[in-house]
Amino acid sequence: MAKKVNISVNFSELTGKIKPMHGVGQPPSIGLNDVMYRYLTQAGIPYSRLHDVGGWLGGGLYVDIPNLFRDFDADENDPNSYDFTFTDKIVEGLMKANCEPYFRLGVTIENEHMRKAYRIYPPKDFAKWARICEHVIRHYNEGWANGYKFGIKYWEVWNEPDDCYKEETSAMWKGTPEQYYELYSVTAKHLKSCFGDSIKVGGYGHCGVYEFEKDRNLEGLDHEDSYIYDFVISFMHGFFKYQKATGAPIDFFSWHVYDHLHHSTKDNFLIIAEHASYVRRMLDKYGYTSAEHHLNEWNLWKNTKHRDAPRGAAKSLGFMLMMQNTSTDVMCIYDARIECSAYGPLFNPDTMYPYRTYYAFMMFDSIYKLGNAVSSKSDDPQVFVQAAVNNRKGTIVIANVNEQEVSLRLNISGFPTDDIQILRIDEENRYTLTGETLANEVLTLPENSCVEIKLLNI
């Protein structure tokens, strides 16, 4: 028997903007072939975060500062000291696809660092490193060194330096916390002095605010977990204190979450909304009340069997809808690569076709394009809903992550329901227009499925 759920949508009650919750990490490149970028355009993907691009050591070619500026002793003011060739190709492709690069200034993770680390040590001259970053930005935003005027907004200083709590796990940063604090401060102040509000500078790709649970004295942390959380807590608070003391700007703070890493999020991603609240409270506590915060690495599906299953699409869409209604400003899933990876939920590397999870991003984009969020409520915590409106168009998207069929009773006001189109993602459909009507404002959703209801006012 279907579970009964009440959904109410009031198109007359605007609640803000639909935020870019459907960004991705890394573009779906095949070498330098950008043929798959069309899927970014099709799903209206707003951002592609450029971190870990090219694989091991950035493939020696892409994005990373040591790839763009190969000899640290060279003259940072000389265009001939830079090699933008391969990164230009990626950035050009993204801009043509109407997907803005979210540029990480730093290095790729070195998963074999315990054998030998190459680029994850602190730069030997922080001020020079900042000037190198300046010239990278000038290349892409001001045309320097035969560059472009793309106006790329987000520039992130490093990634996950807080993984340095012990030597054997330090795959991103071989320095001390204090060295990273200084690197960020020097870099952020220099870049903002050069570019002002034309760019946003931030960091630092926090490994994850799972530690907020420790603040709530929850049970279940073993000795090793407690040590890690204590370190990550102190790293984050130390970072904010240092930046405040040195007058460094933080335009955005970035953080990560993977629901397979922690007991509380393994089977219930609802708690991640509390992670977002914790981040906002910490920024406000230290006086960065206008700083954005970005969940720019998230992944709910390390298990590959869910990627083309309706459950993968439903959970991903439900998560984006949930986070839309938190203080989170930007999200990027990790990631959109075309390769056999534990973290590639969008594209099948054998067929080059999208998994069902990809279509959840298309469905979210249908409300993002309209822009104006309206009051949308569900009385079931496992059924997520959000609607949007723009002039004569209205759209409602719903994700059912229950392990059972639900019968939706829809209460729609403020918009006519005479002309309706219904699209579904489930076992039978891949974002398919079904030809259904909305009889008596009742709609049935199978377990772990998604539906989009388009309304026209002609």
pLDDT surpassing 70 at residue 222: no
Which of 252, 268, 299 is a domain's end point? 299
CATH number at residue 413: 2.60.40.1180
Backbone angles phi, psi at 412, to 5 degrees: -105, 125
Residue 289 lies in a domain: yes
How many domains is the chain partitioned into structurally?
A: 2
Residue 124 lies in a domain: yes
Name the band, by pLDDT with cuts 50, 70 and 90, for residue 258. confident
Which of 247, 279, 299 is a domain's end point? 299
Residue found under tokens 């690495």: 297
pLDDT digits (tens, 9 = 90+) for 185-205: 999 999 999 999 999 999 999
**Which tokens sit at 112?**
């074999």
Residue 95 lies in a domain: yes
What is the Cα–Cα distance from 405 to 1, expressed in whole angstroms? 8
Q: 408 and 276 in one domain?
A: no
Percentage of the chain lying above the pLDDT 90 cut: 79
Q: 425 and 288 in one domain?
A: no
Do β-strands 383-390 and 393-400 pair in parallel, antiparallel, or remain unpaired?
Answer: antiparallel
Do β-strands 430-433 and 393-400 pair in parallel, antiparallel, or remain unpaired?
Answer: unpaired
pLDDT surpassing 80 at residue 265: no
What is the Cα–Cα distance from 52 to 64, expressed in whole angstroms? 8
- Per DSSP (E only), the strands in 106-259 are 154-157, 200-206, 252-258
- Mean pLDDT for 139-152 is 98
- Lowest mean pLDDT segment, chosen from 168-172, 197-201, 273-277: 168-172
- Lowest mean pLDDT segment, chosen from 18-22, 103-107, 209-213, 322-326: 209-213
Residue 310 lies in a domain: no
- Mean pLDDT for 237-247 is 96
Q: 145 and 244 in one domain?
A: yes
Residue 118 lies in a domain: yes
Q: 397 and 262 in one domain?
A: no
Q: 243 and 111 in one domain?
A: yes
Q: 167 and 265 in one domain?
A: yes
Name the band, by pLDDT with cuts 50, 70 and 90, for residue 400. very high
pLDDT score at 89: 97
The residues near 130 (Cβ < 8 Å, ≥ 6 apart) are 186, 187, 190, 191
385 close to 362: Cβ distance less than 8 angstroms: no
Name the band, by pLDDT with cuts 50, 70 and 90, for residue 232. confident
Name the band, by pLDDT with cuts 50, 70 and 90, for residue 458. low
Q: 400 and 285 in one domain?
A: no
Distance, C-alpha 361 to centroid of its chain: 12
Which of 245, 268, 299 is a domain's end point? 299
Residue 36 lies in a domain: no
The residues near 255 (Cβ < 8 Å, ≥ 6 apart) are 205, 206, 208, 209, 275, 279, 293, 294, 295, 296
229 close to 268: Cβ distance less than 8 angstroms: no
What is the Cα–Cα distance from 153 to 141, expressed in whole angstroms? 9
**Averaged pLDDT of the chain:** 91
Residue 361 lies in a domain: no
- Per DSSP (E only), the strands in 132-216 are 154-157, 200-206
User: What CA–CA distances, in Å, run from 354 to 153, 204, 218, 244?
Assistant: 28, 31, 39, 44
Residue 287 lies in a domain: yes
Q: 180 and 89 in one domain?
A: yes
255 close to 294: Cβ distance less than 8 angstroms: yes
pLDDT digits (tens, 9 = 90+) for 322-361: 999 999 999 999 999 998 777 889 999 999 999 999 999 9
- Lowest mean pLDDT segment, chosen from 92-106, 191-205, 226-240, 242-256: 226-240
Q: 235 and 131 in one domain?
A: yes
Name the band, by pLDDT with cuts 50, 70 and 90, for residue 295. very high
Domain that holds residue 449: 3-10+374-456
